[in-house]
Amino acid sequence: MKIKTYTHGEGDFWPLMGPFFASREVRKNLGIPMSSDEQHTWLVAVHQEAVVGFTAVEQQKNGCMLRHVYVVPESRHKGLMTKLVQHSVKFVKTSGYGSIRVTVPGELLDFYANSGWEETSTRGQYHNLRLDLEGT
């Protein structure tokens, strides 16, 4: 398995990712429709030329946001989500940002909290978390 980094629309990004953007199942799993623009950098996990997971880092005015963390059902419970999040954090840190934020449903709260993310607020069933990268 290899994790490839793409800027918005770069190379074979759309042929690889188009089916996920169009998938009702992916949208249901993420809780929101996927989006991409020039502010997004995608980390796409590929195994034998098939996408097995992905995430995006969205650069915003007030920092970076981790978005669209997804692993295909056949590849879950094998540590891929951890690898994708770790690669995203490395990308953000090397880009010069001091922190990264994410919004997750309650069932993922422990995953992030156990990795050092701190909850900053809650809105309904969703939790906003932040990981401070300074000193790491």
Residue 135: pLDDT above 70? no
Which residues partner with 54 through β-bridges?
Answer: 44, 70
Q: How far apart are CA 6 and CA 11, in angstroms?
A: 8
Q: How far apart are CA 96 and CA 57, in angstroms?
A: 13
Q: How confident is the model at residue 105 (pLDDT cuts 50, 70, 90)?
A: very high
Residue 118 has a CB neighbour count (10 Å cut-off) of 12
In CATH, the number for domain 2-132 is 3.40.630.30
- 80 Cβ contact partners less than 8 Å away, ≥ 6 residues apart: 1, 45, 52, 53, 71
Q: How confident is the model at residue 62 (pLDDT cuts 50, 70, 90)?
A: confident
Average pLDDT over residues 82-90: 96
Q: How confident is the model at residue 136 (pLDDT cuts 50, 70, 90)?
A: low
| Predicted local confidence at residue 94, as pLDDT | 93
| Predicted local confidence at residue 109, as pLDDT | 94
pTM for the whole thing? Answer: 0.93
Domain residue limits, the chain: 2-132
